[in-house]
Structure 1
């Protein structure tokens, strides 16, 4: 598999998942290409979390197949998925507030002087600054404690950590949740920068349809464990997406 922009990074075909009698996913098919952002929307309980956990190797699908970089792949575990270049940024960010930015960027990937277990702090600071600058993240000092930063800056650092680890597929689980307009703007600008680089595929889970249409190339709507809508963002509107979701809500209430 070459790394050219536009090449397909991941494709899932007919993926299904049940938990006892409950069908979480039914015959899911989707694809994402390098340099593309796919917006994944749907109400709570639609199956988004289950799908993300399958793509991270946390859950195994009951049926269907996953093709990663052109090869049929079984994601055996979270560690295995990460080794392939599948990184996830969850809402809780998995960051240590009282550690500085540069150590959070190297969390579980610390550089040490061998054979002595001393941290190469100067080199980690240099690499952290380089990683942040390369994708335009404005953090005044890499020695600042993460807990002292804004929500937007913290989210940006979490994304930078995944990019720094050479992610090929980046899964973002509600990165804009509970953020104000200013903080959201930081992440939206970062996503546009990553898209322009063209070397990573992104799946963005979000509830703000305006933001999804603004930054994503395509939108998939997940309803009752199925992809019911797949369209280029420029060919749909917020009103159409709201009507699809509201129609589902009215149908559910009528059952």
Structure 2
């Protein structure tokens, strides 16, 4: 059976800031319908890596490829235009706006001939998506500030799902949530497999990593320590890889 073409290929990625090495010699392939967890202590380089994939930073050296084609993103909007979406911890939602306006933030739909906002269509499409993903909110007309943390996170993930055609990057998606809301968001993330998107998730929770991921990639001080299939490793091995302390 032939291996599918990776959605994303990172090859020998190196990133330095004023001579300080943040990432060295990092390589990873991400495949459609796969969830890969990126783990490591604070300062390991996880967020730097996400920012390189999403066009915020450019690698100092190494190559990034989408569907086998080498790419170089000038900025974050270039990466979004190629089907890459990011959900950060701070969500980047407009609190005073309704859900449907957040879903189309920066990509608002308009009506001819005068270019007025097509609020009804945005509301309808947003409602269909949150229903499909089972994001439990009163309606797509609800104002973001009136929603719980878990509901907001669900909206941020739904928005990424709506616009991503290839890859979603999740940076600590449940860091500020309680147990029940974390479980709902984890269900939502797991459901994205069926959309054949590739998912890269940063998480400090090894329980979450082992629940969601197909593979685990470990970073320590900017160095790639290794990649393990989740089903073939355990928490002790991953902790040892993260800390460098072997039990």
Structures share fold, TM-score greater than 0.5 = yes
Is 2:238 aligned against 1:244?
no
| TM alignment of 1:86-125, pairs within 5 A | 86-125=84-123
Deviation at 1:244, TM superposition (A): 2.7
Q: Are the aligned partners of 1:6 and 1:35 in contact in 2 as well (CA < 8 Å)?
A: no
Does structure 1 residue 43 correspond to structure 2 residue 36? Answer: no
Asked if the contact 2:85–2:164 (Cα under 8 Å) also holds between the matched residues in 1, the reply is: no
Q: Which runs of 4+ in 1 moved over 3 A?
A: none
> Is structure 2 residue 232 aligned with structure 1 residue 235?
yes
SS of 1:130 mapped into structure 2: helix
2:217 is matched with which residue: 193, 217, 220? Answer: 220
Q: Does 1:200 align with 2:197?
A: yes
Change (3 A) 1:166 1:23: closer
Q: Distance in 2 between matches of 1:111 and 1:137?
A: 22
Gaps of 5+ in 2: none
Aligned 8 A contact 2:220 2:243 in 1: no
Q: Please give the residue correspondences for 1:62-81 in structure 2 after superposition, counting only pairs within 5 Å.
A: 62-81=60-79
**CA contact 1:153–1:186 (8 Å) conserved in 2:** no
CA deviations 1:186-229 (Å, max 9, x no partner) are: 1100011111x142001000000111011011000011212112
Shift of 1:46: 0.8
Aligned to 1:21: 19
Give unmatched runs, 5+ long, in structure 1: 251-255
Following superposition, the deviation at residue 74 of structure 1 comes to 1.2
C-alpha separation in 1, matches of 2:125 and 2:239: 43
The TM-score with structure 2 as length reference comes to 0.94
1: CA distance, partners of 2:148 / 2:232: 34
Query: Residues of 1 paired with 2:40 and 2:141: CA distance?
Result: 39
Spell out, residue by residue over 1:6-56, the C-alpha distance to the aligned partner (whole angstroms, 9 max, x if none). 541001000101111210011000111010000000011111111111111
**Residue from 156, 175, 178 that aligns with 1:177:** 175
Cα distance 1:6–1:212, how it changes in 2: closer, same or farther (>3 A)? farther
| Contact 1:36/1:198, CA 8 A, preserved across alignment | no
When residues 95 and 235 of structure 1 are mapped into structure 2, their CA distance, relative to the original with a 3 A threshold, is same
- Displacement of 1:246: 3.4
Output the aligned Cα RMSD: 1.6
